[in-house]
Structure 1
């Protein structure tokens, strides 16, 4: 199983909505969260939803330290890989 950018966008929209000035369909992989209109509380909620939906667990600081969607995707997919290898 792989956690994709589309999965992340869906969870972001469900948990925190979207800033009207940001196009999540654009090239957002390497944009910082603050540029996308998301603050740490929204990211913590997003992280919680990912954990529940995908059955993974990661340190709460890992989510807030992931400065871009690409970094968060890498963290989630590393956990998914670790949980399937166990």
Structure 2
């Protein structure tokens, strides 16, 4: 259980630690609404990212979290919802 907030900066850090960044993508740029696929992240990289988020934040994520939330903005909001639900559970 966690009462911490998941931020875009945390997502960027976890993505870089787990999968790096595609050479053609400036991850520090305006990428909030670009799909992970268009950012160059494939399923294995996203699985690694989900695992790191789960371990670091002490939550369990649905297997389809990235399919349902395909952009950084949508994922950050979804993770914060999971964190909020974990605190109130």
Task: Check whether TM > 0.5.
Answer: yes
1:19 matched to 2:18? no
Number of aligned residues: 86
Which consecutive unaligned segments of at least 5 residues does structure 2 have? none
Question: Which residues of structure 1 form unaligned runs of 5+?
Answer: none
Query: Take 1:70 and 1:2, find their aligned partners in 2: how far apart are those partners?
Result: 14
Range moving further from structure 2, 76-85 or 5-14: 76-85
Whether 1:65 and 2:68 are equivalent positions in the alignment is yes
2:55 corresponds, among 48, 52, 56, to 52
* CA displacement at 1:63 relative to structure 2: 2.8
Could you tell me how far apart the structure 2 residues matched to 1:44 and 1:72 are?
13
Aligned-CA RMSD value: 1.0
CA distance in structure 1 between the partners assigned to 2:53 and 2:73 by the alignment: 15
2:75 paired with 1:78: no
Tell me the TM-score normalized by structure 1: 0.93
Task: Provide TM-score, normalisation by structure 2.
Answer: 0.90
Question: SS of 1:36's equivalent?
Answer: coil
Deviates most, 69-78 or 1-10: 69-78
Indicate if the aligned counterparts of 1:30 and 1:68 stay in contact, CA closer than 8 A: yes
